[in-house]
Each structure stands twice: as structure tokens, then as C-alpha cells.
Chain A
Amino acid sequence: EAQVTQNPRYLITVTGKKLTVTCSQNMNHEYMSWYRQDPGLGLRQIYYSMNVEVTDKGDVPEGYKVSRKEKRNFPLILESPSPNQTSLYFCASRPGRNTGELFFGEGSRLTVL
């Protein structure tokens, strides 16, 4: 089944404890992206990647890192999480760098205490 898989789906952590949210797609998509969803703000793009080893900042990249060592994986790294990073995170992918439908994962709800 074609899908975008995120892990973990739910996580409660404490300020400063490094964490990684993994994202994997099995559709051989070139483009991958991370969004955060907050009430009243919709989805805001954190980082995106147009291909392996190519990543760029989105609208709200501060406090986050990403890597794209393989085509299928695009992990989101929070080196030192803070409470303002408490949010619902979505990974998404699409076939082409500039075109095609965006497919979303089911989301990862992160709480930073």
C-alpha cells in the first residue's frame, strides 16, 4: 500500500531532550516536506527536500533540523526541544519536485513539558 509513515505517532518529552521523528515513504517520491499544525494557524512548512541531499528551509525552520540521506526517509530532528514546539507534525511527499499531489502521513503529536 502506498503510504507515508511517521513515528512516533504520540510523544511526550521534556525540554532539552533531543528527539527524532522519522518519516518514510514507499512511493519513490522526489519531494518530501515537514509541516506543523497549530490551532488557528493552519499548516506551516518547516523544511522541505527536493531530492536526496537537497534540503531547504520552509517558513518556520528555527529549532529543527532535517536530513535526506536516502530518497525514502526524511527525519525531523529537534536537538533541544522547547515547549513552543508542542504541536502536531505532518510529513508529506509528492512524486515530482514541482508537481503532483501531496500525500500526507497520519501525523505525530508532540508535547514538550
Chain B
Amino acid sequence: GEDVEQSLFLSVREGDSSVINCTYTDSSSTYLYWYKQEPGAGLQLLTYIFSNMDMKQDQRLTVLLNKKDKHLSLRIADTQTGDSAIYFCAESRAGGGNKLTFGTGTQLKVEL
């Protein structure tokens, strides 16, 4: 199958950590990505991880990859109201122009 799955909603309090999860099915994925979509805007690349890595940290963002379970997560430390958005994970597969297959998106709501 080609599904990339995410939970639809996540609500956190400002200052807490957010963890957004994603599962994918294609073990041949080369890169895995996290994109952020703010209201009324297109998607912006947040971070990515190569499939032979377990973890990548970039300021407040930590990406964890469990290749055995085909599970990807994005942790946002000290979540701010400006982090409220839809977050998409995506996997890149070889062939077909290295097509990106996107998950369903997780709506993150940050409450005061």
C-alpha cells in the first residue's frame, strides 16, 4: 500500500511539547519530510531526515525515525501560538520523479 497516515488533530498548551506522529508503508522510502501549512498559505518545508538516520535535531524541532516500525515523529519543544498550523509528513520514493507521497495532515492547535 501507499498510505502515509497521521492523526487529524492535536491540541497542546503554549510552552508544552508537541509530538506529531506519522506512519508510512513503503520500506524503500529514501527521505522523509515534515511540511508546515499555515492558514491560507502553501506548504513550507520544516525539516527532513534521510532514511538511514534515527534522529535529527534542528533548534526546537526533533525528528525521530523508527525504520523497523515505519514510524516518524516530529517533536516541537516549547510550542508557541505561531506553531498552530497543519503539519504534513511526506515520504520520497525512488522512481516516478522521486514522487512525494503526503500524509493526511495533522492540525495542531496551541492554546494559551
Contact = CB atoms under 8 A, between A and B. Distances in A.
A42 B43 contact: no
Interface string A70-88: 0000000000000000000
A106 B42 contact: yes
B10 interface: no
Contacts, number: 49
Q: How large is the interface on A (under 10, 10 to 19, 20 to 34, 35 or more residues)?
A: 20 to 34
B1 interface: no
Given A90-B43, A106-B42, A107-B41, A98 B98 contact: yes
B42 A105 contact: yes
A18 interface: no
A97 interface: yes
A49 to B, nearest CB: 9
Contacts of A106: 40-42
A35 B102 CA distance: 10
Contact of B8 (A40, A56, A107): A40
Contacts of B102: 35, 42-44
A61 interface: no
Contacts of B41: 106-107
Contact of A98 (B4, B42, B97): B97
B103 A48 contact: no
Contacts of A11: none
A41 interface: yes
A104 interface: yes
A4 interface: yes
A101 B43 CA distance: 11
B109 to A, nearest CB: 16
B46 to A, nearest CB: 11
Given A44-B102, A48-B97, A102-B45, 13 more contacts: A35-B102, A42-B6, A43-B43, A45-B99, A56-B96, A56-B97, A90-B42, A97-B97, A101-B45, A102-B43, A102-B100, A106-B42, A107-B41
Interface of B: 4, 6, 8, 40-45, 88, 96-100, 102-105
